[in-house]
C-alpha cells in the first residue's frame, strides 16, 4: 500500500482507498496498524459476522466491537478517527447455527439504526441479497434477504423499511436507556424506538400541548406506515 496508495491518489485525488479487510484477525489488524497501514489508506475495511446464535446479544456486542475498533485506530492514528466500512455483515437463517427470520430482521433493524450513532462508520454492506441454494442445513446457503427464487424473507422487509429513511439520516440525539434515537433524513426529523429486549412491548406517549399539528406517521419496521391523528381515548373510563 505504501507504493500503490500515493499513485492512486495522484491519479484520482478524491478516491477513497480502503485497507485490507479483516474478519476475525484482531491481532493481525493491530499488526498492520503498528506497521503504518493507517498512513496509506483513507478507511478501514472490516467484516463483522455476529448476527447468529453464537452471540447472546449480537447488536450490543457489535457496538462494543466497533467502539473497540475506534479506540484501536486512535491508538495508532495520533488520537484521530479513520473512516470504517463494514464491507460484509450478515447471518444465516436456517440451520441450528443461524437465527430465525424474525430474529434476523430485528437484529438487522437494530444494527442499522444504532450504526447511525457511530459517526466514523461510513457504510454497512449486508451479506447477502439472495440465498445461494436451497439446502437448509448448509451454513453458507441461507444468508440472503430473499430466497434462491427471489421470494422475500422477513429481513428483506426490514431492510426495505429502513433503507429510504437511513440512507441520508444523521443522528440528532438519543436516549440510550429507552433506546430512542432522534434522526434527520434530510427532509424531516423522525424518532426511532429500538426495543432493547425481545418479547418486550414498548408504549410511547407523545404530547403536543393541544396545538394543531400534522398527523403522526407510525411505522413498524417491515410493515406499512400508518397515519394517526393526534388525540387520546381513555378506554378505561
Q: Summarize pLDDT for 148-168 with one digit per residue, the tens.
A: 999 999 999 999 989 888 888
**How many angstroms separate the most distant Cα atoms in the chain?**
75
For the beta carbon of residue 131, count every other beta carbon within 10 angstroms.
25
What pLDDT does residue 215 have? 85
What pLDDT does residue 53 have? 56
10 belongs to a structural domain: yes
177 belongs to a structural domain: no
What pLDDT does residue 98 have? 72
Q: Provide the pLDDT confidence category of residue 73 given band limits of 50, 70 and 90.
A: very high
CB 123, CB 83: distance < 8 Å: no
What pLDDT does residue 219 have? 86
What spatial distance separates the first Cα and last Cα of the chain, rounded to whole Å? 71
Spell out the residues 6+ positions from residue 232 whose beta carbon is closer than 8 angstroms to its own. none
Mean pLDDT across the stretch 224-233?
81
Domain count, the chain: 1
186 belongs to a structural domain: no
Average pLDDT, the chain: 85
In the chain, the percentage of residues whose pLDDT exceeds 90 is: 37
What pLDDT does residue 176 have? 61
CATH number for the domain that contains residue 158: 3.20.20.80
Range ranked top by mean pLDDT from 41-45, 49-53, 113-117, 224-228: 41-45
205 belongs to a structural domain: no
CB 179, CB 198: distance < 8 Å: no
Output the CA–CA distances (angstroms, integers) from residue 98 to 102, 108, 109, in the order listed.
Answer: 12, 14, 17
34 is in which domain, residue-wise? Answer: 4-168
234 belongs to a structural domain: no
136 belongs to a structural domain: yes
**Residue 175 in this model has a pLDDT that exceeds 80:** no
Please give the residue that has the higher pLDDT: either 203 or 152. 152
221 belongs to a structural domain: no
What pLDDT does residue 10 have? 95
Range ranked top by mean pLDDT from 117-126, 128-137, 177-186, 203-212: 117-126
231 belongs to a structural domain: no
What pLDDT does residue 91 have? 82
**Residue 52 in this model has a pLDDT that exceeds 60:** no
pTM, to two decimals: 0.86
Q: How far apart are CA 164 and CA 130, in angstroms?
A: 20
**Residue 236 in this model has a pLDDT that exceeds 70:** no
Mean pLDDT across the stretch 214-220?
85
Q: How far apart are CA 144 and CA 202, in angstroms?
A: 29
133 grid coordinates: 441454494
**Residue 119 in this model has a pLDDT that exceeds 70:** yes
In terms of Cβ atoms closer than 10 Å to its own Cβ (0-12, 13-18, 19+), residue 14 is exposed
**Residue 96 in this model has a pLDDT that exceeds 90:** no
For 215, which DSSP code? P
CB 126, CB 145: distance < 8 Å: yes
Amino acid at each position: 500500500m505504501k507504493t500503490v496508495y500515493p499513485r492512486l491518489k495522484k491519479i484520482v485525488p478524491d478516491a477513497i482507498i480502503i485497507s485490507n479487510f479483516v474478519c476475525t484477525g484482531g491481532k493481525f489488524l493491530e499488526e498492520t496498524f503498528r506497521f503504518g497501514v493507517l498512513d496509506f489508506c483513507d478507511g478501514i475495511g472490516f467484516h463483522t459476522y455476529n448476527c447468529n446464535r453464537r452471540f447472546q446479544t449480537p447488536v450490543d456486542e457489535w457496538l462494543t466491537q466497533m467502539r473497540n475498533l475506534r479506540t484501536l485506530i486512535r491508538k495508532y492514528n495520533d488520537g484521530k478517527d479513520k473512516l470504517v466500512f463494514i464491507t460484509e455483515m450478515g447471518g444465516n437463517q436456517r440451520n441450528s447455527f443461524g437465527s430465525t427470520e424474525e430474529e434476523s430482521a430485528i437484529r438487522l433493524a437494530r444494527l442499522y439504526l444504532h450504526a447511525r450513532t457511530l459517526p466514523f462508520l461510513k457504510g454497512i454492506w449486508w451479506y447477502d441479497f439472495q440465498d445461494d441454494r436451497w439446502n437448509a442445513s448448509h451454513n453458507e446457503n441461507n444468508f440472503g434477504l430473499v430466497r434462491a427464487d427471489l421470494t422475500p424473507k422477513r429481513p428483506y422487509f426490514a431492510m426495505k423499511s429502513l433503507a429510504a429513511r437511513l440512507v441520508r439520516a444523521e443522528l440528532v440525539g438519543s436516549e440510550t436507556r429507552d433506546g430512542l434515537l432522534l434522526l434527520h433524513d434530510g427532509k424531516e426529523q423522525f424518532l426511532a424506538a429500538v426495543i432493547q429486549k425481545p418479547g418486550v412491548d414498548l408504549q410511547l406517549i407523545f404530547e403536543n400541548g393541544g396545538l394543531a399539528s400534522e398527523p403522526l406517521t407510525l411505522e413498524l419496521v417491515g410493515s406499512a406506515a400508518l397515519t394517526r391523528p393526534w388525540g387520546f381515548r381513555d378506554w378505561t373510563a
